[in-house]
Amino acid sequence: MGSIYGYIRVSTREQNEERQRVALRNAGVPEDNICMDKQSGRDFDRPRYQQLLDMLQRDDLLFVKSIDRLGRNYEEILQQWRILTKEKGVDIAVLDMPLLDTRRGKDLMGTFLSDIVLQVLSFVAENERDNIRQRQAEGIAAAKANGVLFGRPPKPLPKKFWWVYPKWKAKKMSGAAAARACGMPLSSFLYRAKRCAGRDAGANGSAT
């Protein structure tokens, strides 16, 4: 039997890094052989995983906590599984699913059953991620419809803005001159001034 490794993948928003690490330790993975990638948003650059692929040798054993640690979608999970097991000759054990342990059933039937389970679970993992993204999008849309604002709050306007803004609105001052007077970039001044103008127009419309 070769060396034992573990792989952890978390996003910057997830809080399960330690949970995965503890599970790998309990499975007998040496701390020095645990590789971890932390990604954010759509970024799926995994430098530690690529290093791990280079280190793995035939008959090594790789532990992961769950199948979706290997990829971000159904096709990628299957691709990585085949690279590891077929090209590298590595055994894989998925801690959340004991059926996905290539040390069991090395014969044709065992491999066949493992491949079926893998495909089903990969599909389920991808489908669940899609459902989560859809629920998040629906929640954000509903919150926006109810007036909830997202993102960082805008910086407070300079005091001079409220003296300069009416002059700019009345076309008595150019945008560049108004921005200089407020100590603001031109783009920032125009953005905030146009928003104020839109609110003023809305208020005047509702008053009539």
Question: Catalytic amino acids?
Answer: 11
Taking a C-beta distance cutoff of 8 angstroms, is the pair 100, 114 a contact?
A: yes
Q: What residues pair up with 36 in beta bridges, in sequence order?
A: 8
Q: How far apart are CA 203 and CA 123, in angstroms?
A: 52
Type of residue numbered 71: G
> What is the edge-to-edge ordering of all strands in the sheet holding 4-11?
34-39, 4-11, 61-64, 91-94
- Per the document, the length of the chain is 208
Per DSSP, 88 falls in state S
Taking a C-beta distance cutoff of 8 angstroms, is the pair 88, 50 a contact?
A: no
Taking a C-beta distance cutoff of 8 angstroms, is the pair 66, 96 a contact?
A: yes
Type of residue numbered 83: I
